[in-house]
Structure 1
Amino acid sequence: MRLGGRWRRLFAGLLDLLVIGLVSSPFTYRTVTTVTDSGLSIEVPYTQTLLVGFIGFLYYWLLTAFWNGQTLGKKIFHLRVADLGGQRVGVGQAALRQVVAWVMYVTCCLGWVDLAFILFQSRKQAVHDIAAKTLVVDS
């Protein structure tokens, strides 16, 4: 079992973010509200943030669980998520992976810490991979 390359993981992730943006954009158009504080007007996309997060969570979780451990980006870049033995991940394992990733990404700058683990960890695992006992491998 060969580990997936860091650059391919990056480009697969960027492609997945583009897909999520395209899928969620019809539902999030014009979902801003204006908050006024001391005469300063700021537009806050509160609904968009929640909806895009929910769509993203479902995208990663369901595709990882039911499409051989692959999102569209991982499929194009010949990667897949596997358990530590190289086998297909289960629904619960894929859900745990995404919950940890989601919590890390919405908690200040911990998303960067999560991704930085890939650079320094011998098995190229992010924190969400370590928590769910998964690897990203070549498909």
Structure 2
Amino acid sequence: MEVWIGRLGERHGPYQEEQVKEWLRNGQLSREDLGWYDGLADWQPLSVLFPLEKPTPPPAPDMYAPPPLQQPQVSAGAFDYASFWQRFGAWVIDLVVLMIPSMIATYFLGGVEAYKHFLEQMQAGADMSAALREYSTATESSQVASLVITFLYYSFCEASKWQATPGKLALRLRVTDIHGQRLTIGRAAARNIVRLSALIFGLIPVICYLAIAWTQRKQGLHDLMASTLVLNGTAQQQPPQRTQSSSQHGRFDA
């Protein structure tokens, strides 16, 4: 059974029933949060839908036990970081997706005609350097359009409720800040300004992505600059974030 969760006027899900029960037991969901599944006439508190699922109380302290050792607040294993090859695969998928709007922009901005003219010059034995300069000038607008399309594509997808581009969704990845939370549009834009500006400087994109292989949190240069992470698991597999306690009951309007 699939269950929708209602919290603070927003609808999340759907999630599998066992997943919701587990989140109730470990306290990631409140029993006051609302739930709905197919067949219900209205939204109900989770305490009504799953009355047997309650947060597991902590074990009683042992007065004879030694004091616990102090643990670091954040550990490198706190999140399941996406590997270099997972991110490379997502990049390839996104590259294929972006080819369609980029080719359309190139066609309407004269890029195809500029390429045909360049080939004609080569066949006629024109000077290579002069022909390349002319071709570069003629395709400037289409190149800028492709960069803008790519920037908007990544920024809005990664700041969306999916927290991922289609390529990352296909490989079940998501982009978050260093606390594992959804990116704001400003942070997503900053991340992609760093990444796309690397295209202007030749070999820097290689350094940008190779950093994933040796950094502790598998962060690329753009992740380090924008304080972001790429994690395994889609946003829809995570419990909805609790920003404040909710005491709404009865009907839920999303």
TM-score under structure 2 length normalisation: 0.51
Match of 1:3 among 81, 100, 109: 81
Which residue is 2:106 aligned to? 28
Residues 6-57 of structure 1: CA distance to partner in whole angstroms, max 9, x if unpaired?
A: 2111010011011111122112124254688xx4133333222111111000
Determine the structure 2 residue equivalent to 1:60: 154
Pick from 79, 87, 107 the counterpart of residue 201 of structure 2.
107
Aligned-residue CA RMSD (Å): 1.9
| Gaps in structure 2 of 5+ consecutive residues | 1-78, 234-254
From the two aligned structures, give the one with the greater helix fraction: 1
Dislocated runs of 4+, deviation >3 Å? 32-36
Number of the residue aligned with 1:116: 210
1 CA distance for matches of 2:103 and 2:202? 24
Shift of 1:67: 3.7
After superposition, give the CA deviation of every residue in 1:51-97 in whole Å (9 maximum; x if it has no partner).
11110001000111114320000000000101111111111110100
Q: SS of the residue aligned with 1:99?
A: helix
In structure 2, the partner of 1:94 is 188
In the alignment, which residue of structure 2 is the partner of 1:69? Answer: 163
2:163 and 2:200 map into 1 onto residues whose CA distance is 23
Runs of at least 5 residues in structure 1 that lack an aligned partner in the other structure: none
Q: 1:4: Cα distance to partner?
A: 1.0
Segment of structure 1 superposing worse, 78-87 or 20-29: 20-29
Between the two proteins, the alignment pairs up a number of residues equal to: 138
Query: For residue 18 of structure 1, what is the aligned residue in structure 2?
Result: 96
Q: Provide the TM-score with structure 1 as the length reference.
A: 0.90
Judge which range, 83-92 or 104-113, deviates more.
Answer: 104-113
Percent identical pairs in the alignment equals 29
Question: Structure 2: how far apart are the matches of 1:112 and 1:64?
Answer: 21
